[in-house]
Chain A
Amino acid sequence: MLTPIEIQGLQVLTILVCSPLLSGVIAHIEARLQGRRGPRILQPYYDLAKFLRKETLIPKDASWVFVAGPIVAFSCYLIVPFLIPVLTNYPLPLGYMGDILGGGFILALAGFSVSLAAAESGGPYAQLGSSRAMTFGALIEPSILFVIFTVALVTSTDLPYFEAATARASLSQAIRPAHLLAALAFFLVVLNDTGRIPVETHSSTLEFGMIDEARTLEHSGPLLALLRWGSAMNQMLLYVILLNVFVAPWGLAGTRQAGAVLLAIPVFVGKAVGLGVLFALVDNSFSKLRLFKITEFMAAAFVIAILAVLVLYLGGG
């Protein structure tokens, strides 16, 4: 029997430890789909270890914000696992600390501090990245809000645990149009927030199309490690919300037995890898949108999210 506090710590540890693994697996599968051999699955860990050993260079005119940004972002990513169902299907004590909106605020704070640190560096590409990230972040925000409205209308609360419990409760809840539309809209949001095609080529080194990736160009050493690790954690957190709240809230531990909770870790990583394969397939089957066409993608996500609310209002769909 694990205490709730231990389980909560385990949720954070799962995200912290497994997120580079998830990135590694996705990068490997993506390379295979493109006919390349690809990096080792553990490559992100080696990269992080390398960056942590290197020295940190700070631009001449940069202030403390340049150093604080990555640290604040990293701590934000460590807080969010307290709020969302990573391993258990029952709410943990600290899960009531914040709802989906609260989790969204903390993720937004993380993104904001990374952008601030990038802007502080004075590097033109980093500044361009931070300005773009803020612009597109604001454009995708309405879709996120309407997804949250949908959840709130369905469950009359916006705690992620309850949305997951509702989807699990019966098949008709899981396939009701509003739920499907909200899940689809959130899928598009995750595509945007993890820097995937059609919004961004996440592995490219070409600055013209860069959004999120450009923000880390001026950081080095341990700070870069924190940023990379943070972005892997961000990706895994978004996967947790998409999988364990919307699409597949099954396979979570229902009791506090150590065995059940520990078993939930590989089950979740397996689900996340499955989702990662889907994202890699999307990456390989679509082309990147031109920067000024990205608003079309945002508009599509917005339409889907708003339709979810509309069908709920009119017919209980």
Chain B
Amino acid sequence: MVAAMSAPSTFTGGSEAIALAVLLTEFAMLRAPLSRSQVRLYALQSLAVSGLALFVAITKHLDALYALAALSFVLKVVVVPRIVLRLLRESRVELVASHRLGVATMVLISVVAAAFGFFVVGSLPVHARLLPTPSFGLAGAEILVAFLLVILRSDVVSQAVGFFSLENGVSVASLVIAGGLPLILEMIFLFDLLVAVVVFGVLIWVHHGRTQTLSTDPLEQLRG
């Protein structure tokens, strides 16, 4: 038989598979027509991120990461999606036509962006302490796709969810380069997210109160 390309170890393979799941949910968010399903996808993505932290904690025996996994689970899988879903329920808007481009076009652009992020970030001479370096490239790709989500969808929920998932990408990246970061710093990241949730919550609320829609198109009229 021909020599096959050697497989990564189970740890590398497993952690990369989880990082890939994070990236794939980002693509799904880009496509998801309903704001509600976007928020659910965000919860799923956060679940994958906390799963990654837990996976590293178990395999590398890092107690701080257990706490981080638990905290990010509570905050990003339960609390934040609940708050946003509640805001959505109050605004009673089911569907916002917010795709600026066709879905297939958006996906193709994102594939290019993801490949760019993947190779550029992945080729940085970063010494990964805990996770395999390709996960760093995947995190870079995820961050770029999250940017595209904010750019290519014109509704407030996409902007908020895009920003939150940006934070998920940063979490993965920080797990790669600084997995053993002091817990207090990781907590600061998470509280950063909480501030963002409050800001976006107010934004969604005020915007919907003024324009009766979640689309950001009315904001275009404000330009001079």
Quick one: which of A165, A177, A295, A316 contacts B6, CB cutoff 8 A? Answer: A316
Q: How far is the CB of B55 from chain A (nearest CB, A)?
A: 13
**B66: Cβ under 8 A from any A Cβ:** no
- Complex CA gap A293/B1 in Å reads 43
Which chain A positions have C-beta within 8 A of B1?
162, 165
**B27: Cβ under 8 A from any A Cβ:** yes
Quick one: which of A165, A296, A315 contacts B8, CB cutoff 8 A? Answer: A315
Which chain B positions have C-beta within 8 A of A12?
none
- Given contacts A172-B13, A315-B132, are A157 and B103 in contact (CB under 8 A)? no
- Given contacts A153-B5, A172-B9, A175-B14, are A299 and B107 in contact (CB under 8 A)? yes
- Complex CA gap A173/B111 in Å reads 25
> Would you call B115 and A310 a contact (CB within 8 A)?
yes
- For residues 295 through 317 of chain A, which have their beta carbon under 8 Å from a beta carbon of chain B? 295-296, 298-300, 302-304, 306-307, 310-317
Q: How far is the CB of B201 from chain A (nearest CB, A)?
A: 30
Closest to B135 in A: A315
Say which size band chain A's interface belongs to. 35 or more
- For residues 268 through 317 of chain A, which have their beta carbon under 8 Å from a beta carbon of chain B? 293, 295-296, 298-300, 302-304, 306-307, 310-317
> Would you call A314 and B31 a contact (CB within 8 A)?
no
> Would you call A317 and B27 a contact (CB within 8 A)?
no
- Complex CA gap A317/B137 in Å reads 12
> Would you call A156 and B13 a contact (CB within 8 A)?
no
- Complex CA gap A161/B117 in Å reads 35
Which chain B positions have C-beta within 8 A of A303?
24, 27, 107, 110-111
> Would you call A177 and B107 a contact (CB within 8 A)?
no
> Would you call A154 and B10 a contact (CB within 8 A)?
no
Q: How far is the CB of B112 from chain A (nearest CB, A)?
A: 10
Quick one: which of B4, B24, B110 contacts A304, CB cutoff 8 A? Answer: B24
> Would you call A175 and B13 a contact (CB within 8 A)?
yes
Closest to A295 in B: B104
Quick one: which of B3, B13, B108 contacts A317, CB cutoff 8 A? Answer: B13
Closest to A309 in B: B115
**B51: Cβ under 8 A from any A Cβ:** no
6 contacts between A and B (CB under 8 A): A155-B5, A156-B3, A296-B107, A303-B110, A306-B111, A315-B134
Q: A162-B2, A300-B107, A317-B13 are in contact. List 13 more A-B contacts (CB 8 A).
A: A153-B5, A155-B2, A171-B10, A172-B13, A180-B17, A295-B104, A296-B31, A302-B107, A302-B111, A311-B20, A311-B138, A316-B134, A317-B134
